[in-house]
Structure 1
Amino acid sequence: MTEGPPSVPPPGHPGPYAPSPAGPHAHPAPAGPYGTPTPYGPPPYPPPGAYAPPPSPGRRSRRGLWIGLGAAVLALALALCAGSLVVLKSYLDARNAASAAALDDKYSPIRQEKIEALLAAHTRALTERGEKAFVAPFDPTKKGLVAEQTSLYRNLSRLPLADVRFKYLTKSDFRPVGGGHEVDVTVAFVHRFDGFDLGPVEEWYRWTIVQTDKDAPLKVTRAGGFPEERKRDAITHYPAPWDKWRSIHVERTPHTLLIVDSSLRAAAQRYAPIAEQAAVADLAAWQAGGVSAPAPSGFVISLVKGRTELGSLYRTTKETPTESGVAIPVPPEGVLNSDEKGPVVGATRVVIDVRDAYHFTRGTRERQLNLFRHEIGHALVGNLTARAPGSHLLGEKETWVVEGFAEYLGHGRKPWLTSERTADSRAVIREIGQPYSLPGNLTWDQEDRVGYHYWLGHSAIGYLVERYGEQKMFQLVAEHYRSRKIGEVTQDVLGVSYEEFEKAWLAYLKAEVR
């Protein structure tokens, strides 16, 4: 038998796995398919066996133990801390809520959400035709107040209203009363006359709301207009016909809505055809004028008995008015929050005194038609009214433009010299001579000259129509209502300065009236 190699080769002799000897007689290893193979060397790991011998245990470090214990303690601490934070947060939230509630009780004892809910319920009562619910918020011990609100509900129910709602605007400081509080709230009655108004408008009420304690229901103890004016002439938009009269009568035509006290029912039926004729004529004139601006499709008109009543509908007057009719602008919804480019007139309400001697008790149908056309003429262009550029204030309009235009429409677009004012105005010219200019706003109401000034304004509009054409006249009026200064308008629309226009008008007037 052949003896195997010793387990450890003698020095100088290669072992069984040693590389082939190098030298001139050595044979190179055959090239494999991927090039010369790497020489075998000692394997990087121990020779295989059933189980590799375990590593020497040596001395074990306790660092991991302490790290593990520290992590466990930290986790426990964090868990306890998190629980404490939750408890602390809940405690602070409760304290904050209590503080907020205390502040609310102190500075807002009547909650805003309760006021809003009351107004929403009031709106539903009107739109859903619930008289009992409409009157419910008002203090039942105030018999007069309840009667007024009952009449208001019944009057509003007779009107063709759309977009109706009662909306919160502002409130005063709270006042303690008994064991509770009261506050004055400004309420906007938002509404639109369907088929007449271009958009919703506002009428402002002032309600006094009382809450006897924080859990008690709200009660309204007073309701009136806002702002309240007693010592000067002011347009307050209150009282409207539905506020002023205990019972109203409504007479409707295709283009007019007459709202009158029930005692004037016969008068409304008598004058409604004249009002309709006037509205149709003015709307036709507007369409012929070619102005690119929307106009109302109809007009809301009230008839009153006497000058005192004329001065107390939609406004207050310190002295008894002298006019026979008036056109009163009412604000659009949201006017208090709009910017300088927002609209300032939402609609115009016409009021006519049917006891006026010149037009009615001793007047003719033609005079009545002239009056309706005149006031509807104001309402026709009222929505164009704008603020002065860069301002919240209304732009100032020349009165001769405003009233001259209304006179032109009131006179049925006929030549201005056929006006009934002509005879008296000729007498004024014979007395004081020819005018040197158009009447200014400051002198317009000069005693014994108002009718004459209306006539001069009418003559200027007549001159515009004769010299430049009716469409140019309408364009000039519309642009001036939009708050453009009269000098800018004459230059842009007519191509002449205001001084040149006025000089030409004076020459025209002198030639026509000798």
Structure 2
Amino acid sequence: MTDGVDEPRPRPRWPLWTALAVVLAVLTCGVSAALLAGLPHRTADRGAADRAAADRPAAGRGDPATATARRVGDQLSAQLDRQAGALLDGDRSGFLAVADPAARADLSRRFAALRALRVTVWRAEPGGLPTPVAGRAGEWRQLVTFRYCFLAPDCAPSPVLVGTRWRAGGAAPLLLAVEESRSAQAGVRPWEVSELAVAVGPRTTVATTPALRGKLPGLLADAEAAAKVADRYAVAGPPPGHYQIFYAGRAEWRRWYGGGRPKWTAGYAVTVGGGHHEVVLNADALPAAGAGELLRHELTHAASLPDRGHPGKQTWWLVEGLAEYAGADGAQVSRYEGLDEAAELVAGGWNGRLDALAPADAAPADQVGGSYGVGYLAVRHLVDRYGEQRMLDFFRAVVHDRRSLDDASEQVLGDPWTALHDECVGYVRATVR
């Protein structure tokens, strides 16, 4: 789907399948105290309150209600700025000091999660003037965009828009609640709502709930190995500096990033803005042997896709085919585990069009697996015919530069797409026969 869901493919050794949700968007203890040692710090943007005040529109300055809202807004900006500085400094007491006591348990969990994830950038940007809460004297609601980075102090921050509620009237307003982000594109982030255990490696971070803490060492090892493979498919620049992975239990799978994935989904990658992707794995879908192949698939999405997602269903086969190719990690075609499903799809009435491969959410398992298998075989044929680098150049032209398949094929591969498409389909049919 255009800038939407990239449906997963089945695997014989687990009951659910991989997916890529390409959306725009923007954890509470570590594995050990050692993980929190040496957390990077970054100075908060302490001029945010002044800039927010300066950016407020001049209209309505003479209206008493607007003047009150403006004054409260300036106070809220100062409190948010103070809280951001405390978070980056690791000052839990200072982070909680701006809040009403009733809100501090939730904020304590958020603080621990963000620190465990090694937050390095945290900026709070109020959006417009606060509004009074009807029927609650002294209470105000303020929309805030939080911009954040993990680990890297100089990354392009990811945004998340949330509502906050405050009580004014004392020496400074007190934060009553931070609402969950409910973006139609992405939904709630794991660190907003869950207590998290975190493991950090040189190239990857894996976070899960305390109940699944025991899975972290194996997941981190698989993720570190997968990152080395995924790095090769960063087609439009250097690979991500760090891959962020969340391992979801059953309840978290239904809640993180809005849930609602097809039943056969085992994982997906989600764009969170700033050029970053985060990967989510379904704990109920992984084999005892490990998550290596699934992680290679999903981290390749994170490395290869633009922030705005892929162009749409017509190129689904190319996006998923590349991720499947990376997941296979150089194995012979005969060892690819989706061959049987691909054969069933081809024999079952597939119309022979690569641009019609994307399965619907309610598609049966064999069709989903077959679609992924055909995408893999088509990309594998492009690699065999033109080499990996030219295939990646073709991918970049189509997925990043949004050039048509006809144009990209002629300009990058030197052959007309109509003939090459039929050649790919012929290879698929011959391979699964």
Query: TM-score range with shorter-chain normalisation?
Result: 0.7 to 0.9
Match of 1:224 among 158, 172, 179: 179
Give the secondary-structure state (helix, strand or coil) at the position aligned to 1:205. Answer: strand
C-alpha distance in 1 between matches for 2:216 and 2:181: 29
Cα deviation, residue 477, structure 1: 1.6
Match of 1:192 among 149, 153, 158: 149
**CA-to-aligned-CA distance 1:175-225 (integer Å, 9 cap, x gap):** 454543523x2222222222599532122221123324xx75222222122
Asked if 2 retains the 8 angstrom alpha-carbon contact of 1:197 and 1:296, the reply is no
Asked if 1 retains the 8 angstrom alpha-carbon contact of 2:204 and 2:227, the reply is yes
Paired position in structure 1 for 2:266: 324
Match of 1:121 among 82, 87, 90: 82
C-alpha distance in 2 between matches for 1:174 and 1:512: 66
Structure 1 residues 172 and 439: CA distance shift in structure 2, 3 A = farther
Cα deviation, residue 301, structure 1: 0.9
Paired position in structure 2 for 1:511: 430
C-alpha distance in 2 between matches for 1:416 and 1:171: 59
Match of 1:374 among 292, 297, 321: 297
Give the secondary-structure state (helix, strand or coil) at the position aligned to 2:149. Answer: strand
Structure 1 residues 105 and 296: CA distance shift in structure 2, 3 A = same
Structure 1 residues 192 and 109: CA distance shift in structure 2, 3 A = closer
Paired position in structure 1 for 2:193: 244
Structure 1 residues 128 and 385: CA distance shift in structure 2, 3 A = closer
Cα deviation, residue 170, structure 1: 4.3
Map residues 382-461 of structure 1 onto 2, 5 A cutoff.
Answer: 382=305, 384-386=306-308, 395-396=311-312, 398-432=315-349, 435-440=351-356, 443-445=359-361, 446-448=363-365, 449-461=367-379
Using the TM superposition, name which of 126-135 and 439-448 deviates more.
439-448
Structure 1 residues 270 and 442: CA distance shift in structure 2, 3 A = closer
Paired position in structure 1 for 2:253: 310
Structure 1 residues 177 and 323: CA distance shift in structure 2, 3 A = same
Letter in 1 for 2:238: P
Asked if 2 retains the 8 angstrom alpha-carbon contact of 1:207 and 1:220, the reply is yes
**CA-to-aligned-CA distance 1:213-249 (integer Å, 9 cap, x gap):** xx752222221223356xxxx522x232x22223x22
Cα deviation, residue 375, structure 1: 0.7
Cα deviation, residue 369, structure 1: 1.2
Give the secondary-structure state (helix, strand or coil) at the position aligned to 1:157. Answer: helix
Give the secondary-structure state (helix, strand or coil) at the position aligned to 2:255. Answer: coil
Map residues 259-298 of structure 1 onto 2, 5 A cutoff.
Answer: 259-283=207-231, 285-286=232-233, 291=235, 293-298=237-242
C-alpha distance in 2 between matches for 1:166 and 1:486: 42
Map residues 148-163 of structure 1 onto 2, 5 A cutoff.
Answer: 148-163=106-121
**CA-to-aligned-CA distance 1:110-159 (integer Å, 9 cap, x gap):** 5232222121111111122222221223232xx3x321101111222223
**CA-to-aligned-CA distance 1:266-293 (integer Å, 9 cap, x gap):** 210122111111111222x337xxx451
C-alpha distance in 1 between matches for 2:224 and 2:279: 13
C-alpha distance in 1 between matches for 2:227 and 2:99: 40
C-alpha distance in 2 between matches for 1:199 and 1:309: 27
C-alpha distance in 2 between matches for 1:396 and 1:275: 28
The answer to which structure, 1 or 2, has the higher relative contact order (CA under 8 A, 6+ apart) is 2
Give the secondary-structure state (helix, strand or coil) at the position aligned to 1:303. Answer: strand
Asked if 1 retains the 8 angstrom alpha-carbon contact of 2:382 and 2:391, the reply is yes
Asked if 2 retains the 8 angstrom alpha-carbon contact of 1:196 and 1:298, the reply is no
Asked if 2 retains the 8 angstrom alpha-carbon contact of 1:326 and 1:352, the reply is yes
C-alpha distance in 2 between matches for 1:413 and 1:170: 53
Letter in 2 for 1:109: A
* TM-score, normalised by the number of residues in structure 1: 0.66
C-alpha distance in 1 between matches for 2:425 and 2:137: 72
Letter in 2 for 1:310: W
Give the secondary-structure state (helix, strand or coil) at the position aligned to 1:302. Answer: strand
C-alpha distance in 2 between matches for 1:502 and 1:165: 48
Map residues 142-153 of structure 1 onto 2, 5 A cutoff.
Answer: 143=102, 145-153=103-111
Give the secondary-structure state (helix, strand or coil) at the position aligned to 1:258. Answer: strand
Q: What is the percentage of aligned positions where both structures have the same residue?
A: 22
C-alpha distance in 2 between matches for 1:171 and 1:481: 39
Cα deviation, residue 487, structure 1: 2.9
Using the TM superposition, name which of 255-264 and 189-198 deviates more.
189-198
Structure 1 residues 170 and 419: CA distance shift in structure 2, 3 A = farther
Asked if 1 retains the 8 angstrom alpha-carbon contact of 2:181 and 2:189, the reply is no
Asked if 1 retains the 8 angstrom alpha-carbon contact of 2:338 and 2:369, the reply is yes
Give the secondary-structure state (helix, strand or coil) at the position aligned to 1:277. Answer: helix
Kindly report the root-mean-square deviation, in angstroms, between the aligned alpha carbons of the 2 structures. 2.8
Corresponding position: 1:496 with 2:415:
yes
C-alpha distance in 1 between matches for 2:357 and 2:328: 23
Letter in 1 for 2:340: A
Asked if 2 retains the 8 angstrom alpha-carbon contact of 1:197 and 1:347, the reply is no
Give the secondary-structure state (helix, strand or coil) at the position aligned to 1:351. Answer: strand
Paired position in structure 2 for 1:478: 396
Structure 1 portions without partners, runs of 5+ = 1-98, 333-345, 388-393
Name which one, 1 or 2, has greater alpha-carbon Rg. Answer: 1
